[in-house]
């Protein structure tokens, strides 16, 4: 806490994570051949920034490795090394190691030196680079008097934006000094009188004479991060030599006749290229016009994306955002109440007041959407962890796997993103380990040797749908069935549909792997995946075609702050039942209800029996039991898969509700998960389906377990 660097360190590691994902996505684009010329630069920048940051914190190991990596990338950038698939593969391995090094530096721990050495060696081989890692920079700094072929003249005029972005001219000059011997002069001729001085303005120009054997690109690289925020002119000096080591600063009377006028064109270089490219595209043959138009659009999109990736961002405490979301939620409710009151007061809908209210309503909805969008993040951050996982699992299983991801830009709430990473990891491991066949069997089956795992994300009706699909052999139903019988999950003579057999893999205590493998058989099965998905208010399903592969589909709410609920009433109390838990609604008949164990009733449902829970009674709202035929029944399923039928008085429809904690000002209430505020401003309680189902189960443990089995086995009773 005392260390001021600690906070910066945290930011550094956060930024490293971002750079690493940028690096990974860039490399993947290079691997897939979808890379733009800008991609290599982005990849290079990512490694370069990490190296720079690591230098500040004296993370030597990280700096050394990043340097080797960066040097290789620079060769690709300059065109002296071609990014062939084997080269990109090495880059990907290097990116993995870089990620490990970053994490080791952050959390402590060591990195497998053998792997590091392997990759460093691979770099040496591909580029014939025999340089000792880490020595590069020191050489330059330590020995400035070595061959100085060039004298560079650099004019550096920062714009106010440069300072506004917290860049420091002095640091850049210091960096420049590392390239060689510099003579720095400050031109203050534009500095106005104090009275006219804008404190946030920029008035200074530095004229730097640099003696170094470096290339112009080396100098430009130093200014890479500020190139849009300054005027930078680099030219070769006509005058050879100067008194070395003299640094004059703040010399107001300085005249710069020594320096020939700098050429403007260098500064414009990048832009000129773009214009030329556009010119070429602007004069297409008529036939090709559509095609070229598409590519121009593509170029623009790419440009926009590039611009996007450097768009200024701020880091904000999540608490502040959540507070704002709370307040906006309240604003929406208040606005609705106000509209209601205005209408009740008999004010004409066409009147000015009503129209103004309508405007207000649009505005509030828009504010709500924008505020919710603050928390939303693309699933990219999770998807980007997967290629590495696939590489590792593929290497362990000896299978050839290609990962295809789609819909990385699909946005979902931050908390959801954090909590889908583990289930997705598990499912992808499973897809490779169990889903895909071995290379030989694939070839024998006439399939391509390389298996494909497809990970997609898409928005569908207010939810995010994630799919993990493999083109493997599909689910081996006879083996699954046999396993389920062995584990006592179903009766040997149970009649199950294909779909029912497929869904057996989600049952607790089920694992198809004959032996526990290192990869997916860590005692964690698909039941855990299903539980964690259900805990997020999501559902998981599977479809499988023998010989063609399996597809797991996850459907999740976009945010955990709101919940899709069924509004019901029980004994004059309005309650919300999470929609995710409801399997179906039905109207029970008196003759289908059978008493069991005193208070507990069972409902006959398609050959099975499900315990009946009277919600009003269970929550203590009413001492009497409701009459089943006067009630509406909701078949619900708890997290463990236990089912119950909830009896309520009436269903009032579905709606999205904002989840409010009861514990914040009160305490946990048994049978209630949380609260929400309804459109009329009143609080409604959200039923904790698990607790209610377990409550029913607790009254008759043995029966419930047995009957659940019957339910699964399709009513073998």
List interacting residues with other proteins (CB under 8 A). Answer: 326-327, 329-330, 333, 573-574, 619-621, 660-662, 664-667, 669-672, 675, 677, 681-685
Query: Residue 349: beta bridge partners?
Result: none
CA 659/CA 685 separation, integer angstroms: 10
Contact 427, 552 (CB under 8 A): yes
For other proteins, which is the closer residue by CB, 451 or 671? Answer: 671
Residue (493 or 666) nearer to other proteins, CB: 666
Smallest separation, CB 233 to other proteins (Å): 56
Closest to other proteins by CB, 267 vs 326, is: 326
Residue 182 in contact with residue 170, Cβ under 8 Å?
no
Q: Which is nearer to other proteins, 198 or 344 (CB)?
A: 344
Residue in 383, 388, 411, 414 with CA at minimum distance from that of residue 401 = 388
Q: Kindly state the tokens that stand for 164.
A: 């506004």
- What angle do helix axes 169-179 and 135-142 make, rounded to 10 degrees? 90
Choose between 155 and 676: whose C-beta lies nearer to other proteins: 676
Instruction: Give the nearer residue to other proteins in terms of CB position, either 329 or 525.
Output: 329
Under 8 Å between Cβ of 518 and 492: no
CB of 662 to other proteins, least distance (A): 6
Contact status, residue 533 vs residue 539, Cβ threshold 8 Å: yes
- The three-class DSSP label of residue 178 is helix
Which residue, 513 or 669, is less far from other proteins as judged by CB? 669
Reference 646, options 716, 575, 564; nearest CA is: 575
Of 219, 255, 265, 257, residue with least CA distance to 238 = 257
The C-alpha angle 624, 626, 630, rounded to 5 degrees, equals: 150
**Nearer of residues 436 and 615 to other proteins, judged by Cβ:** 615
Residue 236's φ and ψ, nearest 5 degrees, are: -85, 135
**Least distance (Å) from other proteins to the CB of residue 329?**
6
547: left (phi over 0), alpha (psi -120 to 50) or beta: left
Whose Cβ is closer to other proteins: residue 388's or residue 660's?
660
CB 573 within 8 A of CB 616: yes
B/e letters for 71-110, b = 16+ CB within 10 Å, e = fewer, are bbbbbbbeeebebeeebbebbbbbbbbbbbbbbbbbeeee
Count Cα neighbours of 282 within 13 Å in the Cβ-side half-sphere: 6
Select 586 or 669, whichever has its Cβ closest to other proteins: 669
Cβ at position 669, least distance to other proteins in Å? 6
Which one-letter DSSP state was computed for residue 262? Answer: P
Rg (CA), the chain: 33
Distance CA(206)–CA(187), nearest Å, equals 6
Residue 693 C-beta: closest distance to other proteins, Å: 16
Q: How far is the CB of 321 from other proteins (least distance, A)?
A: 14
């Amino acid at each position: 806490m005392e260390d001021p660097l600690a906070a910066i360190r945290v930011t550094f590691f956060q930024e490293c994570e971002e750079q690493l994902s940028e690096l990974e996505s860039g490399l993947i684009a290079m691997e897939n051949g979808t890379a733009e010329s800008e991609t290599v630069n982005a990849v290079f920048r990512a490694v370069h920034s990490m190296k720079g940051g690591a230098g500040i914190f004296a993370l030597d190991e990280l700096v050394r490795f990043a340097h080797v990596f960066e040097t290789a990338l620079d060769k690709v950038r300059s065109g002296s090394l071609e990014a062939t698939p084997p080269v990109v593969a090495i880059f990907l391995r290097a990116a993995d190691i870089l990620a490990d090094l970053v994490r080791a530096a952050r959390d402590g721990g060591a990195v497998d030196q053998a792997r590091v050495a392997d990759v460093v060696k691979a770099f040496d081989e591909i580029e014939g680079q025999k340089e000792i890692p880490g020595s590069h920079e020191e050489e330059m700094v330590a020995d400035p008097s070595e061959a100085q072929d060039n004298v560079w003249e650099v004019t550096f005029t920062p714009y106010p934006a440069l300072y506004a972005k917290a860049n420091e001219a002095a640091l850049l000059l210091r960096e420049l000094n590392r390239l060689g011997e510099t003579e720095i002069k400050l031109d203050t001729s534009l500095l106005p009188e104090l009275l006219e001085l804008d404190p946030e303005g920029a008035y200074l120009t530095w004229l730097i004479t640099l003696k170094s054997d470096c290339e112009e690109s080396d100098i430009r690289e130093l200014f890479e991060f500020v190139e849009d925020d300054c005027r930078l002119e680099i030219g070769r000096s006509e005058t050879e030599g100067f008194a070395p080591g003299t640094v004059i600063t703040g010399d107001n009377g300085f005249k710069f006749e020594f320096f020939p006028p700098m050429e403007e064109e260098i500064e414009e270089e990048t832009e000129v290229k773009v214009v030329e490219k556009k010119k070429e595209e602007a004069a297409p043959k008529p036939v090709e016009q559509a095609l070229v138009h598409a590519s121009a659009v593509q170029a623009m999109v790419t440009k926009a994306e590039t611009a996007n990736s450097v768009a200024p961002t701020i880091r904000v405490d999540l608490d502040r955002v959540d507070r704002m979301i709370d307040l906006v939620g309240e604003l929406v409710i208040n606005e609705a109440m106000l509209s209601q009151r205005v209408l009740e007061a008999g004010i004409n809908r066409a009147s000015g007041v009503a129209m103004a209210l309508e405007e207000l309503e649009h505005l509030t909805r828009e504010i709500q959407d924008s505020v919710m969008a603050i928390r939303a993040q693309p699933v990219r951050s999770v998807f980007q962890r997967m290629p590495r996982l696939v590489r590792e699992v593929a290497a362990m299983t000896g299978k050839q796997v290609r990962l295809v991801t789609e819909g990385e830009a699909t946005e979902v709430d931050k908390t959801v993103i954090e909590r889908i990473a583990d289930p997705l990891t598990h499912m992808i491991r499973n897809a490779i380990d169990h889903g895909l066949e071995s290379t030989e069997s694939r070839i024998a089956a006439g399939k391509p040797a390389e298996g494909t795992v497809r990970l997609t994300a898409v928005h569908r009706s207010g939810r995010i749908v994630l799919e993990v699909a493999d083109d493997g052999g599909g689910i081996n139903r006879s083996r699954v069935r046999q396993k389920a019988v062995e584990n006592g999950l179903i009766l040997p003579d149970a009649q199950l549909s294909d779909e029912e057999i497929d869904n057996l893999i989600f049952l607790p205590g089920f694992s198809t792997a004959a032996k526990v493998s290192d990869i997916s058989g860590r005692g964690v099965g698909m039941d855990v995946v299903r539980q964690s998905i259900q805990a997020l208010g999501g559902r998981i399903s599977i479809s499988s075609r023998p010989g063609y592969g399996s597809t797991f589909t996850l459907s999740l709410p976009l945010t955990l702050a709101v919940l899709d609920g069924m509004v019901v009433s029980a004994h004059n109390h309005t309650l919300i039942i999470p929609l995710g838990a409801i399997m179906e609604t039905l109207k029970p008949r008196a003759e289908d209800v059978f008493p069991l164990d005193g208070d507990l009733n069972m409902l006959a449902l398609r050959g099975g029996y499900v315990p009946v829970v009277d919600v009003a009674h269970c929550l203590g709202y009413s001492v009497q039991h409701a009459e089943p035929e006067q009630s509406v029944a909701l078949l619900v399923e708890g997290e463990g898969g236990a089912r119950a039928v909830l009896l309520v008085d009436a269903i009032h429809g579905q709606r999205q509700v904002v989840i409010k904690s009861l514990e914040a000002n009160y305490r946990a209430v048994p049978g209630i998960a949380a609260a929400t505020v309804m459109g009329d401003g009143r609080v409604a309680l959200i039923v904790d389906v698990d607790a209610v189902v377990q409550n029913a189960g607790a009254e008759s443990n043995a029966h419930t377990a047995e009957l659940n089995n019957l339910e699964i086995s399709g009513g073998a009773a």
